[in-house]
Copies of this chain bind each other. A is one copy, B any other.
Amino acid sequence: MAENIDSNKNDIKDKAVKDYKSAGKQSIVFKNPPYIIAEASLVGKKEGEGPLGTLFDQIIEDPMIGKDNWESAESELMKLTAQKVLTKAGLRNSDIRYLIGGDLLGQLIATSFGIAELQIPLFGVYGACSTMGEAMTIGAILVEGGFANRVLSITSSHFAGAEKQFRFPLDYGNQRPYSASWTVTGSGAVIIADHSAKKEAGEADIVITGVTSGKIVDYGIKDSMNMGAAMAPAAFETIKQNFEDFNIKPDYYDSIITGDLGYVGKNILIELLKEKDYDISDRYMDCGIEIFDQDTQDTHAGGSGCGCSAVTFAAYVIKQLKDGAWKRVLFVPTGALLSQVSFNEGNTVPGIAHAVMVEGRMS
């Protein structure tokens, strides 16, 4: 089996080097796959009580994180996460060439105020909850292209700040439909570099081998309380395009991981792919489903937010690859491109999904 997988991989490489510029194609394969040399995940109390609780670098009990408003709390969370990933990599901020970061707040204020004092050249990015996929894609491109030796990709979200901005103030105590997701309070970061880092014994190198970048997909969903249904078609289009661009089947990956489709979006995605004869059901997971226990944590459709896929990737997915439990995954953060204004004006909720191909390679 390993042989087949490797030959697949070589096919892909040859194919990609030849084809990746051609019109219509949405994918890139990296000839010198950039390394993820460090990762960090900081989360709130509720996330810490969830199934992945023991895996996060730090759980912060105080939802205000010592600040006096939700936005400043999220900025502080992102700052602490950036400092954590630098510490884990044994690097100073001046060792990082670019920071690629984003969040859900209007004008990215969690990012601007969070990373300002790091004094790293900043590319602010926004893809709603797909932002970590976009940040990792641009980071890998900067490294593979030789424009940077090290970049830091980071995103964050905060339950209370997101509710305040997109839905209702917490004090309003509104009823949440079962299709609604629970915005994760968390920040996840990775450092992407052009060389490997010192590894623990029996630990694999984590490399980014390729990307499939998403287009906006709009199936006309207008319910901001059902973002899973709005994002599932975007995840479908990006994953299908990844299979087609590389002429592979779901079994090329040990796991296919969406960001925050939740229980509603999960079933839609599986069905949409089945209609195209792609069955991912035996190797599919969604970060929004994994991060909370639906039965005990009252999180309805599951977790969401820029932080959801970022912390799950940093804490759980990378661990699975390092341990060799998985060899190759497709990480597909998914975003719902709405704002309170667009929703109130009766617009649809377009979706987007950015796929990143990640492998663990034992040396």
Contact = CB atoms under 8 A, between A and B. Distances in A.
Contact of A106 (B94, B106, B148, B149): B106
Contacts of A292: none
A134 B98 CA distance: 12
Contacts of A119: 215-216
Contact of A215 (B20, B26, B122, B128): B122
A126 B107 contact: yes
Nearest to A212: B121
Interface in A91-129: 94-95, 97-98, 102, 104-109, 112-113, 115-116, 119-128
Nearest to A95: B23
A125 B124 contact: yes
A216 B115 contact: yes
Given A21-B149, A115-B216, A347-B113, A125 B123 contact: yes
A148 B72 CA distance: 38
Nearest to A24: B94
A218 B118 CA distance: 12
A280 interface: no
A196 interface: no
A127 B124 contact: yes
A58 interface: no
A173 interface: no
Interface in A147-170: 147-149, 165
Contacts of A128: 107
Given A126-B102, A352-B122, A216 B116 contact: yes
Interface in A317-344: 337-342
Contact of A121 (B95, B102, B125, B214): B214
Nearest to A120: B215
Which 5 A/B pairs are nearest by Cβ-Cβ distance?
A145-B145, A106-B106, A107-B339, A112-B337, A121-B213
13 contacts: A23-B95, A24-B94, A71-B341, A71-B342, A98-B213, A105-B341, A107-B342, A109-B338, A112-B350, A119-B216, A123-B127, A123-B213, A125-B126
